Amino acid sequence: MSQETYELKAEARERVGKGSARELRRNGLIPAVIYGDKQAPIAIALNTNEVTKRIHAGGFMTTVATIEVDGKKYKVLPKDYQLDPVRDFTLHVDFLRVSGNTQVTVEIPVHFINEAKSQGLKVGGVLNIVRHSVEVHCPADAIPEFFNVDLSGKKIGDSIHISEVTLPKGVTTVIDRDFTIATIVAPAAGVDESVAEGEAEA
């Protein structure tokens, strides 16, 4: 599962548009919208510092949150956000309402483990990462935090495919084929023969 859920307090917005959005930002708030689940969208305002802190903490787009608006609580998943390209603070966030049976599409980061146990990397090979994340369909209340890709025993010329990753129950990839996540390639300078021979003898 992704990181633990968190709660944000928001206030309903009666006015929408660029003028009201600018006014909110001057007051330390950002405009946001809660939509989905066959209900009318709700325009809200959130504390800018609180949301920006959550974004920079990591896992923002894969963690279900609770937003309290005027005493009513909504379970949501962030679907999109905009950052100011110059000052790096949050301009706007879209949240999707979720429930226990809501299916969502999210990008899950890939972590590579056991690099020291890869023969190819030991002799100077290079890990060529094709996908740093994998897009999946999964239940909103069971979003994986990351996928581990085991490099044990991988040699130069080997490819690691999605079929080698154990997906949790209910999680399926958006791409319906056995795609490549990474390859181990020879370095531009070539392999150190003495190291390679030693590895072969070992």
Q: What is the pLDDT of residue 28?
A: 87
CATH superfamily of 104-201: Ribosomal protein L25, C-terminal domain (2.170.120.20)
- CA 69/CA 125 separation, integer angstroms: 53
pLDDT at position 39: 87
What's the mean pLDDT in 181-190?
A: 87
- Token pair of 182, please? 């990474």
Q: What is the domain partition of the chain in residue ranges?
A: 6-99, 104-201
Regarding beta strands 39-47 and 29-36, do their DSSP bridges make them parallel or antiparallel, or are they unpaired? antiparallel
pLDDT of residue 159: 96
Tell me the average pLDDT across 175-195.
81
Of residues 119 and 188, the one with the higher pLDDT is 119
Q: Which residue has the higher pLDDT, 19 or 176?
A: 176
The phi, psi pair for 158, rounded to 5°, reads -75, 145
pLDDT in tens, 77-129: 999 998 888 877 788 999 999 987 889 999 999 999 999 999 999 999 999 99
HEC assignment per residue over the chain: CCCCCEEEEEEECCCCCHHHHHHHHHCCEEEEEEEECCEEEEEEEEEHHHHHHHHHHCCHHHCCEEEEECCEEEEEEEEEEEECCCCCCEEEEEEEECCCCCEEEEEEEEEEECHHHCHHHHCCCEEEECCCEEEEEEECCCCCCCEEEECCCCCCCCEEEHHHCCCCCCCEECCCCCCEEEEEECCCCCCCHHHHHHHHHC
Does domain 6-99 fall under CATH 2.40.240.10? My reply is yes
Residues in the chain: 202
Average pLDDT for residues 172-189, to the nearest whole number?
93
pLDDT, tens digit, for every residue of 161-178? 999 999 999 999 999 999
Cβ count near 85 (within 10 Å) = 7
pLDDT > 70 in the chain, percent:
89
Percent pLDDT > 90 in the chain is 62
pLDDT tens profile 30-63: 999 999 888 899 999 999 889 988 988 888 999 9
Inform me whether the pLDDT recorded for 199 exceeds 70.
no
Does 201 score more than 60 pLDDT? Answer: no
State residue 68's pLDDT score.
95
- Distance, in Å, from the CA atom of 145 to the CA atom of 3, rounded to the nearest integer, reads 7
Q: What pLDDT score was predicted for residue 202?
A: 46
- 192 pLDDT more than 70: no
pLDDT tens figures, 151-160: 999 999 999 9
